Amino acid sequence: MNAVVLAGGSPADPLAARFGVASKTLVPVRGRPMVEYTLEALRGAGIERIVYAGPPAELEPAPDVLVPDRGSLIANLEAGMAEARSERLLVASGDNPFITAEAVRWLLDNAPDAALVYPIIPREAVEKRWPGMRRTYARLRDGVFTGGNVIIIDKELFVRALPMARKIIELRKKPLALARLIGFGVLVKLLLGRLTIAELEARAEKLFGVPMRALVTPYPEVGADADSEEDFKWLEVDGADGS
Q: What is the DSSP string of 63-124?
A: PSEEE---SSHHHHHHHHHHH--SSEEEEEES--TT--HHHHHHHHHHPPSSSEEEEEEEHH
Angle 161-78-75 (CA atoms, 0-180°, nearest 5)?
Answer: 105
Going by pLDDT thresholds of 50, 70 and 90, the confidence category of residue 240 is very low
173 or 68, greater pLDDT: 68
Give dist(CA 15, CA 91) in Å, integer: 23
Helices then strands (H, E): number in the chain? 10, 11
Identify whether the C-beta of residue 152 lies closer than 8 Å to the C-beta of residue 90.
yes
Query: What is the reported pTM?
Result: 0.92
| Cα distances (angstroms) measured from residue 10 to each of 7, 39, 72, 103, 218 | 10, 20, 10, 28, 32
d(CA 41, CA 39): 6
Give the architecture (CATH level 2) of 2-229. Answer: Alpha-Beta Complex (3.90)
Closest of 233, 225, 232, 162 to residue 7, by C-alpha: 225
Give me the amino acid identity at 156: E
Q: What is the pLDDT of residues 8-25, one digit of tens each?
A: 999 999 999 999 999 999
Closest CA to 92 of 36, 131, 144, 134: 36
Residue 175 binned pLDDT confidence (cut-offs 50, 70, 90): confident
For residue 237, what pLDDT is reported? Answer: 65
State the Cα–Cα distance between residues 219 and 183, nearest whole angstrom: 31
Percent of the chain with pLDDT over 90: 87
Q: What is the mean pLDDT of the chain?
A: 93
Say if CB 118 and CB 212 are below 8 A apart: yes
Residue 136 is predicted with a pLDDT of 92
d(CA 117, CA 76): 19
Region of 242 (left: φ > 0; alpha: ψ -120 to 50; beta: rest) is left
Q: Which residues are CB-contacts of 58 (< 8 A; sequence separation ≥ 6)?
A: none
In eight-state DSSP terms, residue 33 is E
Residue pLDDT, tens place only, 124-156? 999 999 999 999 999 999 999 999 999 999 999
Q: Is the bond leading into 61 cis (omega within 30 degrees of zero)? A: yes
pLDDT (0 to 100) of residue 169: 83
* Beta strand residue intervals within 94-241, DSSP E: 116-122, 138-140, 143-147, 150-154, 212-216
